[in-house]
Amino acid sequence: MKILLFAGLLLVVLGIASLVVPIPHNETEGIKVGKTNIGVQTSHSERVSPIISIVLIAGGIALSIAGASSKN
């Protein structure tokens, strides 16, 4: 089926991208007194665990193989 092949290729691309592209994360900490806010906003980027990336890539390859073999 084309759907399995497409989903597999999408998972492979997402798995490879998750190895390279960091995900930005913002945190705001502070206090609020009446209508006044006093706080600090921190921003940092984190990457997804390599294990999750490997699972995405392996699952994508498996779905691609299943989709390609169901054509015949």
Q: Binning pLDDT at 50, 70 and 90, where does residue 59 land?
A: very high
How do residues 10-30 score in pLDDT, each as one tens digit?
Answer: 999 999 999 999 989 899 888
Global model pTM greater than 0.75: no
Domain hosting 8: range is 2-69
Number of folded domains in the chain? 1
The whole-angstrom separation of Cα 20 and Cα 29 is 29
CB count within 10 Å of CB 14 equals: 16
Beta strands in 1-72 (DSSP E): 23-33, 36-46
Residue 68 has pLDDT above 80, yes or no: yes
